[in-house]
Amino acid sequence: MASTKTKHTTIYAATAAAVATKIIGVRQAGVPDGQASQIDVSSWDDDFDQFVAGRKSTGSTTIEVVFDAAAHEALEAKYQSGEVMEFLVLAPLSDSAPAVAPTVAAGEFAAVTTVDNIKFKGYIANFAVAMADNDVWRGTMTIQGTGPRTITKKTP
């Protein structure tokens, strides 16, 4: 079983109609999950409760970064506006190289088939910056997902 290493993994946000902004300084990241609600379909004739899956409620995730005011300026602007945008997590091309930067048209990423990737939409619900003694500034973005995520395997 092959494992994807985080080294050279990249995350992009479509911050404008034709702009892919690389999120730099990433230390930890995730992808929003989506837990299905439970619909109770039990009746008086059942010995046990019966359930079916309902609508999935898209969750949130965080991206932790080494904060850089200039590099994270576009993301701060998106946090302030609350605008929904598309995010793309790209697996590395190899152990020594990141994937090629994606292209964006009409605010959406073009399909990527050269590496495994995960695409999702969301908005930056919070962008906190923290400072500690003898450390660098760190930022934590909370991304509230909206809609489903798409996982694409690279084509051989």
Q: Is residue 98 part of a domain?
A: yes
Model confidence, pTM: 0.91
How many structural domains does the chain have? 1
Judge whether 3 lies within some domain. no
* Spatial separation of the C-alpha atoms in residues 141 and 136, rounded to whole Å: 16
**Which residue range forms the structural domain that includes residue 145?**
10-152
- Per-residue tens of pLDDT for the chain, all 156 residues: 578 899 999 999 999 999 999 999 999 999 998 889 999 999 999 999 999 999 998 999 999 999 999 999 999 999 999 999 999 999 999 999 999 999 999 999 999 999 999 999 999 999 999 999 999 999 999 999 999 999 999 998
Phi/psi of residue 9, each to 5°?
A: -70, 140
Burial class (CB in 10 A: 0-12, 13-18, 19+), 25: middle
| Contact (CB, 8 A) for 109 and 20 | yes
Task: Look at residue 114 and tell me if it is in a domain.
Answer: yes
